[in-house]
Amino acid sequence: MTEQALRALFDALSQEEKIGQLLQLEAGFFAQSDFQTGPAAALGLQAQDAALCGSVLNLRGAEEAKAVQARFIRQHPHHIPLLLMLDVINGYETAFPIPLAQACSFRPELTQALCAAAAREASADGLHVTFSPMADLAADCRWGRVMESSGEDPLLCAAFSAAAVRGYQGDDLAHGGTLAACGKHFAGYGAPLAGSEYAQVELSPAAFQSDYLSGYRACIGAGSRLMMTAFNTVDGIPASGSKPLLRDLLRGQLGFEGLLISDYSAIAEMIRHGYAEDRRSAARLALEAGVDMEMVGVCYVRELDALVRSGEIPQRLIDEAAWRVLKLKNDLGLFEDPYRGADAEKFRACALENRTLAAQAAAETFVLLKNDGGLLPLGAQKAAFIGPYAESRALHGAWSFFCREADTVSIRQGVEALGKAAAFCKGAPLLAPGAIIPGFSADYVESETEETQATLLREAVRAASAAETVVLCLGEQRLQSGEGGSRAEPVLPAPQMQLLRAVRDVNPNIVLILFAGRPLLLRDVLPLCKSLLYVWFPGSMGGAAIAEVLYGEKEPVGRLSMSFPASVGQCPISYRALNTGRPEALVPTGRFHNGYQDCPSAPLFPFGFGLSYSAWQCGPLTADRAAFASGEHLVLTCTVRNIGRRKSSTVLQLYLQDVCASVCRPRRELKDWHHVTLAPGAETAVSFEVTERMLQFYGPDGALRAEAGEFRAYAGFDSGTQNACAFYFQ
């Protein structure tokens, strides 16, 4: 409807209806007929709240969505439709690789295509809004939600966050087949102390501005219609009630004009944080800070009216928030078509169609970490596929609620589809017998017993002895990462380590395939295998893509979006650390240098690392001039050669270092990259254009600046490259 008509509708609403728009309920509560007992009553919900609420969380199914919407509109005094929201993170029923893996493709356009595909599928199932992308910068692999992030680098994080928003929302939100995006979690959620879920966040103003805001800025720049607050405190203030963070920074400085939703019950949780005395003060703090909608909580519906009546908050704040909800509904076209093309058949067709994309995408995200002796790609040798992931179909990561395992392609199916003869056995339980991982809805309980574990191990040793090559398929259980998935020791589960050692005793030709939602600690694992392919959680078509890569039909082309620590003591670890006054390289002996006595300071694998099936070399990096000034640019060039025996692709990465600045700058920062594909023996010159924009950084005051002086440039195949040259900016 026109803005004028929307205004007229808004003006006709009662206070109760306006406040109702600010409430989001779980589908379960909403469907309740009895508000006297059960979880709705425990939360303090009343039937009238459900009748007037603005949005529903986790309602799925085209037919169900249409029925609920029709009923709701009919009974609502002004027939205002509901907003249906859900976490569509890496695909929907057809699961794509987890976001951390997508970032390893170094192809934001891939993520854009995946998010557009997920939006088509999920909107056909009745949804309007997805709580994605997660734009939190994450450098600590103890934190379970790194799986949902784009990793440790601000540029990569910004590029992938923006691409996701563009993919979900398309060019025109009113056009069906799209979802409104919600950048989250504002702010700093990816830096919880010691990687512990929901823990406090303490960041320097410089790191916060320059690094941690990058993903959110990108979401806003790409037009994300919603943003979500974070559960954590930032410098002692819960994000969901922080006026400086939300009203001043998010809305004021960053210019966000869309709908700001709290995270799940985060407004009431300010009481437990020790920041709000009670529900009433929590409601006041959140609304004053600028939170428009409360996700599953009753602070707003129970308290806002009284707060206005007592004069503690102005009516204007409620009006602004309710207006934003109506505006989003209107932009989504809900007043014209409250179902937005929800259609069960269309949904089925989209889910099926998305499988092709899922297979292509998965192969772009695998990272080859080791290939000694060139065991990969596999040839005609007799291979035994051993491990709990050899035949598993649970390849979709913690945030895929609707992925159907029955439709997922396992490694075994992928290998057999290629017509390869191989033996398969489980070898070990995923976790220790009896272990339980609490789930989002259902828990994972390891069903193998100590007796069956021993039998599995015996079978595995037999199969490994009879094979030329063993492909060990190991990894984390999918619920070990994701929300609530912090791990103090993110190692391979003990029964799988035992399997690895036992197999290694009888056959050293081990190709290890690792599934995980995070970088695992691999120091003890690495010496036990000859090849190591990291496949994250690859989604519905994972097994097909893995088989193609193993047998060389495709090449592993992923590059790490997070550094892999050598020890948990290094966490959080990032290649972008600042220099100390005593770097290890410059103080090589004695004790008074940066780092550890019992562990190197370098990661096990650096950010940007990844091997291919060929070998690559790059020539010296040169600049076309010694200096450039504002408004000009400079060109850096180096020659890249495929020195291996097969056609191959790599990612040439450009890093810059601002040698001396008013705020210490990282040792190096990713600034650009090029994908290069060459025939064996071929070479090409690759150039990067360096502009003033690339030299800029945000000061602690939030102002963007480029400072004159010396810069060092590095180009190579990972963040550890020493291929460097210098230039000046005047």
For ligand BGC, the closer CB: 483 or 548:
483
For ligand BGC, the closer CB: 264 or 616:
264
Smallest distance from the beta carbon of 355 to ligand BGC, in angstroms?
25
* Calpha distance 60→402 (Å, rounded): 9
Smallest distance from the beta carbon of 483 to ligand BGC, in angstroms?
5
Cα distances (angstroms) measured from residue 244 to each of 200, 207, 230: 17, 17, 14
Which amino acid belongs to residue 244?
P
Distance of CA 246 to the CA centre of its chain: 22
For ligand BGC, the closer CB: 145 or 530:
145
Smallest distance from the beta carbon of 479 to ligand BGC, in angstroms?
14
| Whether the Cβ atoms of residue 428 and residue 456 lie closer than 8 Å to each other | yes
Q: How many CB atoms lie within 10 A of CB 652?
A: 21
Site string for ligand BGC, 543-572 (x = CB under 6 A): ------------------------------
Site string for ligand BGC, 648-677 (x = CB under 6 A): ------------------------------
* Calpha distance 240→396 (Å, rounded): 30
Annotated catalytic residue, options 140, 263, 343, 658: 263
Smallest distance from the beta carbon of 137 to ligand BGC, in angstroms?
15
Smallest distance from the beta carbon of 298 to ligand BGC, in angstroms?
17
Told to judge if 263 belongs to the known catalytic residues of this protein, a careful annotator would answer yes
| Whether the Cβ atoms of residue 440 and residue 401 lie closer than 8 Å to each other | yes
Q: How many CB atoms lie within 10 A of CB 675?
A: 14
For ligand BGC, the closer CB: 136 or 669:
136
Sole binder of ligand BGC in the list 72, 92, 96, 131 (CB under 6 A) = 131
Q: How many CB atoms lie within 10 A of CB 213?
A: 26
b/e per residue 333-343 (b: at least 16 CB within 10 A): bbbeebbbbbb
Residue 396 lies near ligand BGC (rule: CB under 6 A): no
For ligand BGC, the closer CB: 229 or 281:
229
Residue 30 lies near ligand BGC (rule: CB under 6 A): no
Beta bridge partners of 259: 226
Alpha-helical segments (H) within 31-86 = 38-43, 47-52, 62-75
Tokens 């690759």 sit on residue:
686
Smallest distance from the beta carbon of 131 to ligand BGC, in angstroms?
3
Tokens 């590029």 sit on residue:
159
Q: How many CB atoms lie within 10 A of CB 468?
A: 14
Cα distances (angstroms) measured from residue 34 to each of 23, 30, 67, 412: 19, 10, 19, 48
Smallest distance from the beta carbon of 53 to ligand BGC, in angstroms?
16
532, 519, 472: which is closest to 499 by C-alpha?
472
SS3 307: helix
For ligand BGC, the closer CB: 49 or 87:
87
Alpha-helical segments (H) within 516-579 = 542-550
Site string for ligand BGC, 166-185 (x = CB under 6 A): ------------------x-
| Whether the Cβ atoms of residue 645 and residue 613 lie closer than 8 Å to each other | no
Backbone angles phi, psi at 265, to 5 degrees: 55, 20
Compute how many residues bind ligand BGC; rule: CB under 6 A: 6
Residue 87 lies near ligand BGC (rule: CB under 6 A): yes
Q: For residue 258, give both structure tokens.
A: 């869309």
Site string for ligand BGC, 184-223 (x = CB under 6 A): x---------------------------------------
Smallest distance from the beta carbon of 198 to ligand BGC, in angstroms?
9
Smallest distance from the beta carbon of 554 to ligand BGC, in angstroms?
33
For ligand BGC, the closer CB: 476 or 483:
483
* Calpha distance 360→473 (Å, rounded): 21
Beta bridge partners of 261: 228, 293
> Under rule CB under 6 A, which residues in 443-502 are in contact with ligand BGC?
483
504, 657, 497: which is closest to 575 by C-alpha?
657
By beta-carbon distance, which residue lies closest to ligand BGC?
131
Residue 96 lies near ligand BGC (rule: CB under 6 A): no
Q: For residue 534, give both structure tokens.
A: 């990291």
Residues 6+ apart with CB under 8 A from 107: 364, 675
For ligand BGC, the closer CB: 16 or 197:
197
Residue 263 lies near ligand BGC (rule: CB under 6 A): yes
Residue 264 lies near ligand BGC (rule: CB under 6 A): yes
For ligand BGC, the closer CB: 228 or 492:
228
Cα distances (angstroms) measured from residue 649 to each of 108, 442, 505, 578: 17, 41, 35, 31
Q: 621 in the Ramachandran plot: left (φ > 0), alpha (ψ -120 to 50) or beta?
A: beta
Smallest distance from the beta carbon of 70 to ligand BGC, in angstroms?
25
For ligand BGC, the closer CB: 264 or 727:
264
The residues that are catalytic are 263
Residues within the interface to ligand BGC (CB under 6 A):
87, 131, 184, 263-264, 483
